Structure 1
Amino acid sequence: MAEIVAAAAAVHAPQLLSRPPYEEMDKLDNSTDALHAFGQVLKDARPDAVLVVGIDHLETFWLEAVPTFTLVISEECEAAYTQWRRRKKVHTSLAVDLLKGVVAQDFDLTYSQEAELGHAFLTPFEHILGDSEIPVIPLLVNTYLPPVPSPRRCFALGKAIARALADRPERIAVIASGGMSHFPGTARYTAPNYAFDKWLIQETAAGRYEDLLGLTGVNLDEVGESELLTWCVLLGMTGGELPGSLLSYQELSHHGHGVIQFVPPLAPAAGTGAGQPELLPRYGGHEFTQDDYVYYRFPEPSSLPLNRFLRQIITRADARSAFVKDRDAAIAGSGLSEAEREALAADGFDRLVELGAHPLLALSAWQVVKNQLSAAG
């Protein structure tokens, strides 16, 4: 049967690729050092394929279709973020068997033969896999366009994948590409829930996951942890009991960067001789109050033109360059409402989100424009 020989959950923040000068470089270095360390673990494990469980920041499918789970079964795949790109060979035969085996278990799974992937895949391709020729199998989980799957459903998908691969002889590695607490593009962008992160690190070290799996998508939205859904797929594949060892955790002003290794297991860190540390309270002391999505709400159809304009800035070099060169002209020709044009003319992204822009698109458009302006001097 297929054997999981390496597995980790890993941050994929775009700043690890773009390295903008306004970030804390030492913390970015600590995160990439941890990704490189797991890359060496993966190299030593010599897997036949790497299942990369990532997310879509509205780069791949956009609003014409929002699948909950998508498997990429092309012969090759490409991941991109502005000018950075990497192509990887896909282990197509294994991916097709995985697809057939999961659907046979009555688990609906979308597939694509030409999806272009975003930075949730490019970051591990760059900093974990690098120039390795090990083929990959990309799997996308919807985490930012409600309704999103529950942690328990993602865990069930992981178990279904493990069963689908039970008769395969390959050695498999798994990367769950997803961040810890952050609220990109929202009014809480600079207020991550670090306490929840630290509680999760504690529970992961002990192999305790029931409290995490018992949460809802609305709960994850409240603490900025929706990307943990990729972790839940990994946990389902590994059985849901393996502890994870922390390779790095960095508190950036806008993001908790975590890298945790599950397979192969690492020896527990040596104690300090001062006894066991006091356990952090459940969920880091957070008490859930939301009864619906607040930070990443369902995108109303009326906001589609604004969201389309922002996505073009992110994904099309010509649109981005035109906006950077002459913002007023680009906005004037957009066909958007007066309020939307005024928000685009202003700095920042809060007003865009208030008008219905998806926070990820508003933030990403602001970031890529800022990066291009910075590069131009």
Structure 2
Amino acid sequence: MAEIVAAAAAVHAPQLLSRPSYEELDKLDRSTEALAAFGRVLDETRPDAVLVVGIDHLETFWLEAVPTFTLVISEECEAAYTTFRRRKRVHTDVAVDLLKGVISRDFDLAYSQDAELGHAFLTPFEYVLGDRDIPVIPLLVNTYLPPIPSPRRCYALGRAIAEALAHRPERIAVIASGGMSHFPGTSRYMEPNYAFDRWILQETAAGRYDELLDLTPVNLDEVGESELLTWCVMLGLAGRAPGSLLSYQELSHHGHGVVQFVPAVPGADGVGAGADGHEVPRYGGHTFTQDDYVYYRFPEPKSLPLNRFLRRIITEAGFRGRFAADRPAAIAASGLGAAEREALAADGFDRLVELGAHPLLALSAWQVVKNELSRAS
């Protein structure tokens, strides 16, 4: 039967790729070093394929379709972020078997043979896999366009995948590409919940997952942890093995975590304890209050033109270049309303989000334009 020979959860922040000068570069280095360390685990465990469970930052499917879970089944796949790109072979034989097996178990799984992946895949391709010629199986989880699946549902998908591959002879590695607490593009962008991260790491070290799996999608929205859904899929696949911390970095806007689950790391202990060595309280001391999504809401159809404009900035190099070179002209030609044009001309992205822009698009557009201007100067 297929054997899970390696499994890890890993940060994929775009700053790890672009390395802007205004970030804490030493912390970025520690994150990429931890990713590279798991890459060396692949050298030791020799997987036949790597299942990369990532997310879509509205780079792949956009708003023409929002599947909850999507398997990419093409001979090759490409992951991109601005000027950074990597292609990887896809293990189509295993991927097709996985698709058929999961659907036969009454789990509706979408698939694509023509999907360009974003930085949630590019980062592990770059820093974990690098130039290793190991085929991949990309799986996307919707974490930012409500309604999103629950942790329990994602765990169940992992179990269904494990069952679907039970008859296979391959050695499989799993990378759950998902960050810890952060609120990209929202008013809370600079307020990650590090205490909640520490609680997650503590529970992970102890192999305790029921309270994590019992969280609701709205709970995850409240603490900036929706990307943990990729971890939940991985847990369903790899079992409830304790995790060993390879790195945790507190950046001003993001908790960067890299945790190895399989194989066990000899001598690992206490990865989730607080700075003083004491037990971290449940949920890091947080009390949940939200009864609906606040930070990542359902995108209302009337906001589509603004969101489409922002996505073009992110995904079309020529359009992005023209916007960066002459913002007033690009905004004047946008066809958007006066309020949207005024928000596009302003610094930052808060007003864009207030007008209905998806926070990820607003932030990503701001980031890539800032990087474009930096390169040009």
Once superposed, which parts of structure 1, at least 4 consecutive aligned residues long, lie more than 3 Å away?
Answer: 268-271
1:50 corresponding residue in structure 2: 50
SS in 2 for 1:88: strand
- 1:234-313 aligned within 5 A: 234-239=234-239, 241-269=240-268, 277-313=277-313
2:180 paired with 1:180: yes
Distance 1:91 1:75 in 2: 7
SS in 2 for 1:195: helix
The superposition leaves residues 290-316 of structure 1 with CA deviations (integer Å, 9 ceiling, x where unpaired) of 000000000000000000000000000
Report if the CA contact (8 A) 2:72-2:111 is conserved: yes
Q: Which amino acid is 2:347 matched to?
A: D
- Structure 1 alignment gaps of length 5 or more: none
Report if the CA contact (8 A) 1:192-1:254 is conserved: yes
The superposition leaves residues 319-363 of structure 1 with CA deviations (integer Å, 9 ceiling, x where unpaired) of 100101110000001000100000000110000000000000000
SS in 2 for 1:137: strand
Q: Which amino acid is 1:233 matched to?
A: V
Identity, % of aligned pairs?
Answer: 81
1:270 shift after superposition:
6.3
1:314 corresponding residue in structure 2: 314
SS in 1 for 2:9: strand
Report if the CA contact (8 A) 2:9-2:231 is conserved: yes
The superposition leaves residues 225-266 of structure 1 with CA deviations (integer Å, 9 ceiling, x where unpaired) of 000000000000112x21000000000000000000000001
1:44 shift after superposition:
1.4
- 1:4-15 aligned within 5 A: 4-15=4-15
Report if the CA contact (8 A) 1:179-1:227 is conserved: yes
SS in 2 for 1:257: strand
Distance 1:351 1:357 in 2: 9
- Structure 2 alignment gaps of length 5 or more: 271-275
2:77 paired with 1:77: yes
1:40 corresponding residue in structure 2: 40
SS in 2 for 1:219: helix
1:347 corresponding residue in structure 2: 347
Distance 1:268 1:287 in 2: 34
Distance 1:208 1:244 in 2: 10
- 1:1-377 aligned within 5 A: 1-239=1-239, 241-269=240-268, 277-377=277-377
Distance 1:178 1:270 in 2: 23
SS in 2 for 1:87: strand
Distance 1:61 1:175 in 2: 21
1:42 shift after superposition:
1.1
**Normalising by structure 2, what TM-score?**
0.98
Report if the CA contact (8 A) 1:205-1:244 is conserved: yes
Distance 2:325 2:308 in 1: 20
Report if the CA contact (8 A) 1:141-1:229 is conserved: yes
SS in 1 for 2:5: strand
Report if the CA contact (8 A) 1:181-1:197 is conserved: yes
Report if the CA contact (8 A) 1:218-1:292 is conserved: yes
SS in 1 for 2:51: strand
1:279 shift after superposition:
1.5
Q: Which amino acid is 2:299 matched to?
A: P
Q: Which amino acid is 2:146 matched to?
A: P
Report if the CA contact (8 A) 1:245-1:268 is conserved: no
